[in-house]
Amino acid sequence: MTKQFPAVMTAVDVAKSFRPSTAALSGPAQSRGQIAPMLVIVIGVLFGFAGLVLDGGRMQFEKRHMQLAADAAAVGAAHEMVAGKTGQDIIDAARDDAALNKFVHYSAPDPQDPNPPPTPDMPTNVAVNNPPLGGNHIGDANYVEVVITKEYPTTFMRVIGIEKAPVLARAVAGMENYGEGCVLALNPTARGALTLNGTPILDSGCGVQVNSNDNQALIANGGAIVDARPAGIGVYGHAVANGCSGNCFFPAPAEQAPPTRDWLAHVPEPTAPGGVTTVYDVTDPNNPISVSTAALDISNGTWNLHPGLYQGSTGNGNKVDGIRITGGTINLYPGIYFLDSGMQIAGNTIIQTVGTNGQPGGPDEGVMFYNMTTGDPTRVNAWNSISIAGTVQANLKPTTVGTYKGILFFEARNAANLNPGHSIAGTADATYDGVLYFSRNNVNYTGTSTTGGWTAIIADTITISGTTTLSNNFLLDADNETPFRTAMLVE
């Protein structure tokens, strides 16, 4: 019997007949539910990588900028040390240099300040440690350590919960012995910037450097010999020998050698005292005679000279020396002798440095002659030269401590050009230990260093006119320090 179906189905029946089962939808629905959290994780990871790349790259950029600032701050602080500064002066110099590079140290305001400035969201700290607290120079007061730290906001790394990242830069600078030549001619263009005349021998084991680019920057005339072994001879231009049979330079000059900077350019100029100094004629030790140093002129007797202002030239064409000596015995007590202007020593004169007790001085009991003028420095007549004649028996030493350590003669850097310049000579046993520093003028030198001592010449141009020995015992003290100390970055 054939089964009969209703002829007509209701709408509800038709709908039910095409509805998929619940079991058929359960698998895809669960997949969609799992993808959503996985997508969140993947996006977070991608942002994390983006943060490492983009935020990390930005931090590296900030790190490089910060490192340059730390380097500059450390060198700036070391320059203060070279100039004899200590303590807060060193800290201030480092932080000032850091601030010039946009890293301004934040100091907490005074708790007593009723209106303190607002605290920045991410303050900069510039720590200055003298001596360094770490690294290769830990505990060495000749070096200073600068550590700059700052936190920077992140962008992409915020997604993984890192809202800021610290950046640190560290640098160490200090006072290093500097210089590859204790005879240094500074003039950049002069012909014969270093010239040897007659038949002199320049024995400079601590080296020679000529900054002139002239094709006859170093001239050796009349069989002159330059022996600069082992340090060597450097010439920016070229060296020539006139009238020399065989080799006149030992070793052969290194030509086109880069110019050497003025090793003492960082040394500040001293300030002259307000009044002239009183010196004493001690021919009769029991009755010394006090004499004002204005236009001091000594021709005989025994004299004790003390540091201070020796006033001669008025700057109005009155070429009177600060000190003029033509005979006698001169004892120089320790300190700075301000020559206004120039000094002339000749005749059968004995001039020597002594200690504060009048006996041969200790290491900190030396002198410095500072050539200056109180007149118009732009006028040549306001200046006078320093001249020590070949008949003088000199035994002069500088101090070995303080700002002017090792400097025997120092001419003001605004000096007028004097022709022919300065002349420093003496008897065969005349000794000039220390630096002869005439950065604006020529110096004609004939002299020697004491046994165990040394002499250095830094001048615009230099002339050697006789047998001259500059000892290569270039160190001043047990710490192996020379006056040619410069600020150098070491870490």
The string of pLDDT tens digits covering residues 447-462 is 765 555 678 899 999 9
pLDDT of residue 18: 44
Q: Residue 9: pLDDT above 60?
A: no
Q: Which two three-digit tokens encode residue 397?
A: 């030493």
Pairing between β-strand 143-153 and β-strand 164-177 as defined by DSSP bridges: antiparallel
Q: How many residues does the chain have?
A: 491
Pairing between β-strand 485-489 and β-strand 164-177 as defined by DSSP bridges: antiparallel
Q: Which two three-digit tokens encode residue 235?
A: 């010439």
Write out the E strands in 180-322.
183-185, 194-196, 201-204, 208-210, 218-221, 225-227, 233-235, 239-242, 249-250, 254-255, 278-281, 289-292, 296-298, 302-305, 308-311
* Helix intervals (H) in 51-152: 56-82, 88-100
52 or 221, greater pLDDT? 221
Q: Give the burial class of 55: count Cβ atoms within 10 A of its Cβ; 0-12 exposed, 13-18 middle, 19 or more buried.
A: buried
Nearest CA to 412 out of 270, 295, 315, 277 is that of 270
Q: What is the mean pLDDT of residues 219-246?
A: 85
Nearest CA to 473 out of 183, 209, 206 is that of 206
Q: Residue 14: pLDDT above 50?
A: no
Choose the weakest-confidence range: 4-18, 96-110, 170-184, 189-203: 4-18
Residues 6+ positions from 90 with CB-CB distance below 8 Å? 77, 80, 81, 128, 130, 144
Percentage of residues in the chain with pLDDT exceeding 70? Answer: 76
What is d(CA 136, CA 131) in angstroms, rounded to the nearest whole number?
Answer: 11
pLDDT of residue 388: 93
pLDDT of residue 93: 92
Choose the weakest-confidence range: 131-135, 197-201, 406-410: 197-201
Q: What is the mean pLDDT of residues 321-345?
A: 91
Q: What pLDDT digit, counting tens, does each position of 167-192 carry?
A: 899 999 987 765 556 799 999 999 99
Q: Residue 33: pLDDT above 60?
A: no
Write out the E strands in 321-450.
323-332, 335-340, 343-353, 367-371, 386-388, 393-396, 407-411, 422-424, 431-432, 434-445
DSSP designation for 52 = I
CA distances from 445 to 201, 248, 293, 416, 450 (A): 12, 19, 27, 20, 15
Nearest CA to 323 out of 345, 306, 350 is that of 345
Q: Residue 317: pLDDT above 50?
A: yes
Nearest CA to 97 out of 149, 61, 148 is that of 148
Q: In this structure, are residues 151 and 123 in contact, taking their beta carbons and an 8 Å threshold?
A: no
Nearest CA to 436 out of 449, 452, 417 is that of 449
Nearest CA to 148 out of 183, 96, 98, 194 is that of 98
102-109 long-range contacts (CB < 8 A, ≥24 apart) are: 102/65, 102/69, 103/66, 103/69, 103/148, 103/150
Q: In this structure, are residues 375 and 315 in contact, taking their beta carbons and an 8 Å threshold?
A: yes
pLDDT of residue 40: 57
CA distances from 107 to 98, 102, 356 (A): 14, 15, 46
11 pLDDT band (50/70/90 cuts)? Answer: very low
59 pLDDT band (50/70/90 cuts)? Answer: confident
Q: In this structure, are residues 397 and 367 in contact, taking their beta carbons and an 8 Å threshold?
A: yes
* Helix intervals (H) in 288-445: none
Choose the weakest-confidence range: 2-11, 84-93, 98-107, 273-282: 2-11
Q: What is the mean pLDDT of residues 463-481?
A: 64
Amino acid identity, position 261: R
Mean pLDDT of the chain: 80
47 pLDDT band (50/70/90 cuts)? Answer: low
> Is residue 401 classed as helix, strand or coil in its secondary structure?
coil
> Is residue 94 classed as helix, strand or coil in its secondary structure?
helix
Q: What pLDDT digit, counting tens, does each position of 379-396 carry?
A: 888 899 999 988 899 989
Q: What is the mean pLDDT of residues 208-217?
A: 94
Q: What is the mean pLDDT of residues 469-485?
A: 57
What is d(CA 292, CA 32) in angstroms, rounded to the nearest whole number?
Answer: 106
Q: Which two three-digit tokens encode residue 356?
A: 């504060």
Residues 6+ positions from 150 with CB-CB distance below 8 Å? 62, 66, 103, 122, 123, 124, 125, 166, 167
Q: Which residue is listed with tokens 């000794």?
A: 431
Q: What is the mean pLDDT of residues 423-438?
A: 86
Percentage of residues in the chain with pLDDT exceeding 90? Answer: 33
